[in-house]
Amino acid sequence: MVKDSDFKIVDSEVPQFYKGQVLIKIHYISIDPAIRGWMNAGTTYIPGVPIGGIMRAFSAGQIIESKHPDFKKGQFVEGLLGATSFAISDGKGLKILDLSKGSIPQYLGILGMPGMTAYFGLLERGKPKSGETVFVSGAAGVVGSTVGQIAKIKGCKVVGSAGGKDKCDYLLANGFDFVIDYKTQNIDEELKKHCPEGINVYFDNVGGETLDAALLNLARGARVVICGAMSQYNDMQNVSGPKNYMKIVVARGEMNGIIVFDFLDRYSEAINDISTWLLEGKIRTKEHIIEGIENFPSALRMLFEGKNFGKLLVKI
């Protein structure tokens, strides 16, 4: 589990920036499960953050000085800028925000990396068809709730799992057909009850026992999308792998992973669709905002303790 002592809050002078760079005043830092993976040594799809380095995180703010031809002073931008009050960028991976389509917090949530993960993970990896059953774990998070709401738009029956009555009630009020409270209910039993013909698409944010229960209940031709494994991140040396993976064979199904960076060139497509659904009231989102950069470590810990309700952000 993440501890306050894993981090230092460091004050320093804003460094000089040069031609081809912009200086950004950060307004919000996104708190995402991926941060825990980036704290590990080594390289997966992206290198771990070195000891003493600025913690990697998606963040958004306003350009206060620009020496870059493609960016202007006053523009709001978002990118992998780090957990910092000010950032200097050469423009690579920096996205100008169209605030007519959503707020700054939304561009770090449903219109940012989490929303893109949900959109492409479900539609490109899960390939849901109208009338099918979609099961989403970690459904109260921004990725899970977005997956569920997009699945409803596509004509699917949607079942989710979340922890606690408030989160379950929130999902039911936002289109989910049924929500399993994993703290008080048996997931396997509830899936058998509410998905008697099996699950066609399972979108996994949790791993562990929840993944095992979903595999037991796959329909023929099911697609399993592995997005994350929240239950495993704090003990990666003892990962609990899927015990029931042979059910993929019985179901003639498939299991695939989603890394959102693979779809960078299609982000505008997803943002246009999601922002339209937001304006039409077909999708709703919720933010949980913690104030003060000094609270970054405790906010990150909240994510793994299930204490946040909605997209978790630190406001600077």
pLDDT tens for residues 216-243?
Answer: 999 999 999 999 887 776 666 777 778 8
**Structural domain contains residue 292:** yes
Whether 206 and 231 have beta carbons less than 8 Å apart is answered as yes
Q: CATH code at 214?
A: 3.40.50.720
pLDDT band at 83 (very low <50, low <70, confident <90, very high): very high
Based on the fold, state whether residues 138 and 95 are members of the same structural domain.
Answer: no
**pLDDT tens-digit map of 19-59:** 999 999 999 999 998 899 899 887 777 889 999 999 999 99
What's the confidence (pLDDT) of residue 296? 96
Indicate whether 70 pLDDT > 90.
yes
Q: CATH code at 65?
A: 3.90.180.10
Based on the fold, state whether residues 165 and 299 are members of the same structural domain.
Answer: no
Based on the fold, state whether residues 36 and 119 are members of the same structural domain.
Answer: no
Indicate whether 61 pLDDT > 80.
yes
**Structural domain contains residue 213:** yes
Based on the fold, state whether residues 163 and 222 are members of the same structural domain.
Answer: yes
**pLDDT tens-digit map of 253-271:** 999 999 998 999 999 999 9
- Please tell me the pTM assigned to this model: 0.87
Q: Let me know if 155 is exposed, middle or buried by CB neighbors in 10 A (0-12, 13-18, 19+).
A: exposed
What's the confidence (pLDDT) of residue 56? 95
**Structural domain contains residue 307:** yes
Rounded to an integer, the average pLDDT of 299-314 is: 90
Based on the fold, state whether residues 117 and 224 are members of the same structural domain.
Answer: yes
Nearest 10 degrees: CA dihedral of 57, 181, 206, 309?
Answer: 0
Based on the fold, state whether residues 42 and 145 are members of the same structural domain.
Answer: no
The rounded Cα 291 to chain-centroid distance in angstroms is 20
Based on the fold, state whether residues 90 and 123 are members of the same structural domain.
Answer: no
Based on the fold, state whether residues 250 and 183 are members of the same structural domain.
Answer: yes
3-class secondary structure, 273: helix
Rounded to an integer, the average pLDDT of 2-6 is: 92
- What is the overall mean pLDDT for the chain? 93
What's the confidence (pLDDT) of residue 236? 64
Could you list the residue range(s) of the whole structural domain that residue 149 is in?
113-261
Based on the fold, state whether residues 246 and 143 are members of the same structural domain.
Answer: yes
Nearest to 78 by CA among 118, 114, 121: 114
Based on the fold, state whether residues 182 and 254 are members of the same structural domain.
Answer: yes
Whether 3 and 292 have beta carbons less than 8 Å apart is answered as no
**Structural domain contains residue 275:** no
SS (H, E, C) the chain: CCCHHHCCCCCCCCCCCCCCCEEEEEEEEECCCHHHHHCCCCECCCECCCCCCCCCCCEEEEEEEECCCCCCCCCEEEECCCCCCEEEECCCCCEECCCCCCCHHHHCCCCCHHHHHHHHHHHHHHCCCCCCEEEECCCCCHHHHHHHHHHHHCCCEEEEEECCHHHHHHHHCCCCCEEEECCCCCHHHHHHHHCCCCEEEEEECCCHHHHHHHHCCEEEEEEEEECCCCCCHHHHHHCCCCCCCCHHHHCCCEEEECCHHHHHHHHHHHHHHHHHHHHCCCCCCCEEEEECHHHHHHHHHHHHHCCCCCEEEEEC
Domain total of the chain: 2
**Structural domain contains residue 38:** yes
Based on the fold, state whether residues 58 and 44 are members of the same structural domain.
Answer: yes
**Structural domain contains residue 74:** yes
Residue 43 DSSP symbol: B
**Structural domain contains residue 301:** yes
**Structural domain contains residue 238:** yes
Based on the fold, state whether residues 38 and 131 are members of the same structural domain.
Answer: no
Q: Which residue has the higher pLDDT, 176 or 17?
A: 176
The rounded Cα 226 to chain-centroid distance in angstroms is 12
